[in-house]
A and B are shown apart, each in its own frame.
Chain A
Amino acid sequence: MALTLKQQLSSPGGILKFLVKYNTIFIFIILVIFSALISDVFFTSVNLSNLLKQVSGIGIISIGMLLVILTGGIDLSVGSMVALLAVTFAILINLVILPLAIVLTIAIGFGLGSVSGYLVAYQKMAPFVATLALMTIARGLGFIYAKGSPVTFKTAGGVFMSNFANNSTLGIPNIAIVFFIIVIATMVMLRYNVFGRLIIAIGSNEEASRLSGIKVNKYKFLVYAISGALAATAAIIVASRTNLGSPNMGMSWELDAIAAVVIGGASLNGGRGTAINTLMGVLILGLIGNILNLLNVPSYPQQVVKGAIIIFAVLLQRFESK
């Protein structure tokens, strides 16, 4: 079917084309090499596992963002949802047994996402507007329920979660494992499952999808709900890491998630993007932050560099589509 790697590389301009096609992965590899060269600390297990712990939360909501963006939508509410759901989880963990707290938090995330999904799919509201409203609402609710200050874990369940979130298995942080499982599941789902295929079809041509007998509204609704559930998962992870749920968590994470998805080559018009490339996007953003921290660059210049990388990545992709 597809050309073999060898064929691709030996065709005229093949190496360049190959580099452009897999640009996200190459940017990632170059960054890793660069980081290793300029910092002795970079390749230590402490630093790498810190890096993975830092990106896991944003990584998980980025996957939800990817699904929404694949349908041609956008979900601005995820950052605030992380805050509200982290507070929710902290309250629940002090009230009910741990498994129930987890299930309830994810269910509430799914429910909140469903509100966006309903507004977008069935009320034909612009995704930007609907999720912008949800973003404000979720942040506000977070502050209301937390009464303005963080809610700390007080039970054995909380201790368990805190241990889980801060420990590693086989050298990989547990929360990164959760993130990777979600990435792999999404990858499989997008390639081999009808749901994945249909959301890509809807994003690439909604009218053609409708006229092919696809339940367009149902699937659009579902991606926002899933994005909500993933925001809940991220919320549980970040709350557990710090032993508390704070309404200030996840501040502007939605923008980082969008950036990660875009760096991963997804099209904001929908229909194009993969889980593995989004993972790369997340890691690239994380790496930039990490290496600049190691070099003691203050946070404001960091933001400038992040922005520049986004522009660079998107320009490369335009080169690819030519």
Chain B
Amino acid sequence: MKNSENEYRLEMSGISKSFGVVSVLKDVTLKVKSGEIHALLGENGAGKSTLIKILSGVHHKDSGTVRLNGEEINPKNTHEGQVLGISVVYQELSLVNDLSVAENIYLHKLGASKFWMNWDKITKDAQELIDSLGFTIDASAKVRNLSIVQKQVVEIAKALSEDTKVLVLDEPTTVFDPTDTKKLFDNLFRLRDQGISIIYISHHLDEIIKIADSITVLRDGVDTGTMAVKDTDTDGIIRLMIGRELKDLFPARNVEIGAEPIFEVKNLTAKDTIVHDVSFSVRPGEVLGIAGLGGSGRTETAKLIFGADKKKSGTLILNGKEIKTKSPVDAAAHQIGFVSEDRKEEGVFLPLSIRRNVSVTNFKSISGKLGFINVDNEYKKVLGLIDKLNIKTPSSEVDVKNLSGGNQQKVALAKWLSIDSKVIFIDEPTRGVDVGAKIEIYNLINEVAKKGVGVVVISSDMPEIMGISDRILVMHEGTIYGELQKEQFSEENILRYSIGKALKQHN
């Protein structure tokens, strides 16, 4: 306090930035102490990423100052940023698939080093670094062969391979299950205690409350203030983020659930994945949650049912009739929908307009004999869906890549709502989506169920899956380990089933 010069490790003040005519940041201040975990919050498009990119040297600020240890810095590119000790783990994984883990971790040093590389030493160093994080990954393995969770760990190790003073993590836990998340947090605490300043970006407010010391909230490019975490709670943070009161994150479930199942799965076993002997049913109007740790086979089960993976045995029954889904073509023909967890790679067509995205599943109803599209009809349908899903866009002709994460997710959903799906699988419905859009997506799921659709939601987000499901199946090692009724919902119960243990009261 006495010496304000040294109180903060990092001081960004009066930062403004515009792209063309769009003003992204307006006079933003962010001050981070050493040995502190500082959460940076805000809805998608609030300017968090831009602020971080200015810090790391990707973008250049229009005005304002950045000080590191009291000295003004102006990194021109990410290399300069790294040399200064600023490391960023971005949301989009930036690893080179064909190189080994060790090569990736030390990639930035390869160019700067001597002509010859000491691969043994690099691999050994990388292995030590990963081991110190408490994860088991072979440093000589090719990154291509890693799971998405392991890739994220490598990203973090890469950031720590420098002499890091400020570590920025952008949504690091989206792909993590609770066990991995806890491991990551332990690491962050350790780094904090070593005096590293950590800037943590996340949409998971529960996480923030758990780990951050202080928070700064951005809204529409303006910071709405910094505060100590102990002085606030989730509701307080949400209020700052969206600028309005928030009654309830999850809508009330008042849907009438049918008696007979609309869709049944019996003894489904995969040919190439760990999924085996999966049986369950979903009734019309029901929201069925599927929980489980990463790698327990949740996504694979959905893909298997949808025909994207190959089946070995098992039966699918839709409306009492057995169906075969050899490929997604069959599944779509039976009006089974699947919204992928990987929105950008598997969900939407980023370079195409909203209209072209939504129509992709729906050509039958808008085209004539020779496949000619009735464009008036198409506009009508698409504009109807944009309106219904409250997709925020000036027109149906905007490319999906220009939409926020939440609106992209709505487009991915719209694809399947346009064909009146009977059963719809939604994998991680709100990954990387801001709070405002989350609520809209939950309401949407509710409304879809109301129409008698069987909705199956896969989610790693515990409050989410408990908040929106009527019933939860928990997967463990490729099969359904247990089923929880509404009154049994608790994080503990889900976790116990996830790791293959019985519930406590059953002991």
Which A residues are within 8 Å of any B CB, using their own CB?
1-2, 12-13, 192-195, 197-198, 200-201, 204-205, 207-215, 271-272
Q: 20 A–B contact pairs at CB < 8 A?
A: A1-B379, A12-B20, A192-B373, A194-B367, A194-B373, A195-B371, A197-B356, A198-B363, A201-B349, A201-B356, A205-B349, A205-B350, A209-B360, A211-B306, A211-B328, A211-B346, A213-B331, A215-B329, A271-B349, A271-B352
B116 CB-CB contact with A under 8 Å: no
A271 to B350, CA, bound (A): 10
B415 CB-CB contact with A under 8 Å: yes
The answer to whether B329 and A213 touch across the interface, beta carbons within 8 angstroms, is yes
B21, B308, B349, B360: the one contacting A12 at CB < 8 Å is: B21
Q: Which residues of A contact B360 (CB under 8 A)?
A: 197-198, 201, 209, 212, 214
Q: Which residues of A contact B308 (CB under 8 A)?
A: 210-211
Q: Which residues of A contact B306 (CB under 8 A)?
A: 211
A201-B352, A213-B329 given; A1·B396 CB < 8 A: yes
A209 to B338, CA, bound (A): 12
Task: Type the 1/0 row for B336-369, where 1 means its CB is closer than 8 Å to any CB of A.
Answer: 0010100001111111100010011101000100
Report which residue of A194, A205, A212 has the largest number of chain B beta carbons within 10 angstroms of its beta carbon.
Answer: A212
A222 to B379, CA, bound (A): 28
Q: Report the contact-size class of chain B (Cβ under 8 Å from the partner).
A: 35 or more
A52 to B360, CA, bound (A): 37
A210 to B338, CA, bound (A): 11
The answer to whether B373 and A193 touch across the interface, beta carbons within 8 angstroms, is yes
Q: Which residues of A contact B347 (CB under 8 A)?
A: 208, 211
- Residue on B nearest A213 in the bound complex, by CB: B332
The answer to whether A213 and B361 touch across the interface, beta carbons within 8 angstroms, is yes
The smallest beta-carbon distance between B342 and chain A, in angstroms, is: 8
Consensus secondary structure, chain B interface? mixed
The answer to whether B359 and A197 touch across the interface, beta carbons within 8 angstroms, is yes
- Residue on B nearest A210 in the bound complex, by CB: B328
The answer to whether A200 and B346 touch across the interface, beta carbons within 8 angstroms, is no
A12 to B20, CA, bound (A): 9
The answer to whether A208 and B373 touch across the interface, beta carbons within 8 angstroms, is no
The answer to whether B397 and A2 touch across the interface, beta carbons within 8 angstroms, is yes
B115 CB-CB contact with A under 8 Å: no
A1, A200, A208: the one contacting B395 at CB < 8 Å is: A1
B370 CB-CB contact with A under 8 Å: yes
B375 CB-CB contact with A under 8 Å: yes
A207 to B69, CA, bound (A): 47
A2-B395, A198-B360 given; A211·B338 CB < 8 A: yes
A1-B397, A192-B375, A213-B328 given; A208·B348 CB < 8 A: yes
A269 to B345, CA, bound (A): 14
A209 to B329, CA, bound (A): 10
The answer to whether A271 and B351 touch across the interface, beta carbons within 8 angstroms, is yes
A12 to B21, CA, bound (A): 9
In addition to A197-B356, A205-B346, 14 A-B residue pairs with Cβ atoms within 8 Å of each other are: A1-B397, A192-B373, A194-B367, A194-B373, A195-B371, A205-B345, A205-B349, A208-B345, A208-B349, A209-B349, A210-B328, A213-B333, A214-B329, A214-B360
Q: Which residues of B contact A207 (CB under 8 A)?
A: 345-346
Q: Which residues of B contact A12 (CB under 8 A)?
A: 20-21
Q: Which residues of A contact B346 (CB under 8 A)?
A: 205, 207-208, 211
- Residue on B nearest A195 in the bound complex, by CB: B371
- Residue on A nearest B399 in the bound complex, by CB: A204
- Residue on A nearest B334 in the bound complex, by CB: A213
Task: Type the 1/0 row for B302-333, where 1 means its CB is closer than 8 Å to any CB of A.
Answer: 00001010000000000000000000110111
The smallest beta-carbon distance between A135 and chain B, in angstroms, is: 28
A208 to B346, CA, bound (A): 4
The answer to whether B372 and A192 touch across the interface, beta carbons within 8 angstroms, is yes
Q: Which residues of A contact B372 (CB under 8 A)?
A: 192-194
Q: Which residues of A contact B361 (CB under 8 A)?
A: 212-213
The answer to whether A204 and B350 touch across the interface, beta carbons within 8 angstroms, is yes
Report which residue of B340, B349, B350 has the largest number of chain A beta carbons within 10 angstroms of its beta carbon.
Answer: B349
